[in-house]
Amino acid sequence: MSISPKVTPIYQTSVFTFEDLNALEAYFEQPGQSYLYSRNGNPNTDELAEEVNQLENGQGAVATSSGISAILTAVLVYCQSGDHVLCAEEIYGGSAALLTQELTRMGVQVSFVPMGEMYSFGNYVQANTKVLLVETISNPMMTVLDLAKVAVECQKQGVKLVVDNTFASPVITKPLELGADIVIHSVTKYLSGHSDVTAGVVVAKVTEDAQRAKQIVVAWGLNLSPFDSWLAARGLKTLKLRIRQHSENALALATYLQNHPKVSEVYYPGLSTHPQNGLASAQGKGWFGGMLSFRIKDEVETVNRFMRGLTHIPFAPSLAGVVSSVSYPLGTSHRALTEEQRAKLGISIGLIRLSVGIEEAEDLIADLEKALAAI
């Protein structure tokens, strides 16, 4: 009986069998034609990597156990002890912590570039500088970079450009087409989309970098499980539909918040008042994603009353699920930063990050209205 499943089955196995020694030798002589051990490769993991690779128009990809392991892999593709990494000053706190708390212990030097100098960062480049790490849309202030301009400067300085495209997704922006060398995602977020997977992916512009990334994942044990790979690949099937709804809802909520008397500032690329609105529109074809931040009074109790006033939008330190959620950068994503660093970035007590889901926008606005009335 011939079996032809419409959906790839879950290969929930740690190891694969061989018929004889000839089959074993064929595995090593013809990479990618068969499987040995799931740390080295698994059909589900490979399917996820290849689907994201196609979305980003890359030349090879590898799935990883988390977004942070994807960043680690991308940096290690180009860096070793004694090398220097540049990083955008305005970036996810976990990324900054990985660089400053862990990679520095391995002998990798790290410097941060202010967002205002991203297009002319030559003063920060050293003889051993290998990589610049940036985000397409920054976390949590939603600054949109002109990646093409950053890429030109990277090429001028002889520096590889690694772009975290998590907030935008390849539906909105394809960094490799704009000059990036590697693009990474926290698959946990939009690519999977349902808050039930922890995963990452590294996509490279050239085959050699993709092969090196795969080698690092295998050697360091940064691989993703078959089941999580299967779940993430399932989420990818609705990515474009979800991004459209996330974007439409986020624009509606950002517009509402912008006009609310208890909200002093709103950060969303889709607003005409956003500094990089035109740039975001050019990259996103009219979609700006589902992430926004806004500022209320800088008082802990005011923030607490707002959080407690929400009924349908949970307070959860993550993002990009189909269900909306709010987060608190000061106490979660950017907690490891110093008080001076947070102040410089504008991450104050009253800053709230909102991940807008795919629910009815009117229901989300009603919940925000109730919570804002409580303050």
The question of whether 189 is a catalytic residue gets the answer: yes
CB-CB contact of 202 with 64 (8 Å): yes
Q: Which of 35, 92, 190, 328 is catalytic?
A: 92
| C-alpha to C-alpha distance for 78 and 85, rounded to whole angstroms | 10
The question of whether 237 is a catalytic residue gets the answer: no
SS3 139: coil
Q: Which of 39, 240, 305, 335 is catalytic?
A: 39
The question of whether 92 is a catalytic residue gets the answer: yes
Sole residue written with tokens 């009353």: 305
CB-CB contact of 334 with 100 (8 Å): no
CA-nearest of 172, 177, 143, 144 to 161 is: 177
Q: Where are the beta strands (DSSP E) in 152-273?
A: 160-164, 182-186, 200-204, 265-267
Residue 34 to residues 29, 345, 369, Cα–Cα distance (Å): 10, 49, 56
CA-nearest of 194, 199, 193, 220 to 44 is: 199
The token pair at 313 is: 């939008």
b (16+ CB within 10 A) / e for 158-173: ebbbbbbbbbbbbbbb
Amino acid at site 109: Q
Neighbours of 106 (CB within 10 A): 12
Angle at 290 between CA 250 and CA 354, to 5 degrees: 80
| C-alpha to C-alpha distance for 349 and 268, rounded to whole angstroms | 19
Q: Which of 189, 205, 212, 353 is catalytic?
A: 189
Q: Which of 164, 181, 209, 228 is catalytic?
A: 164
The question of whether 164 is a catalytic residue gets the answer: yes
| Residues catalogued as catalytic | 39, 92, 164, 189
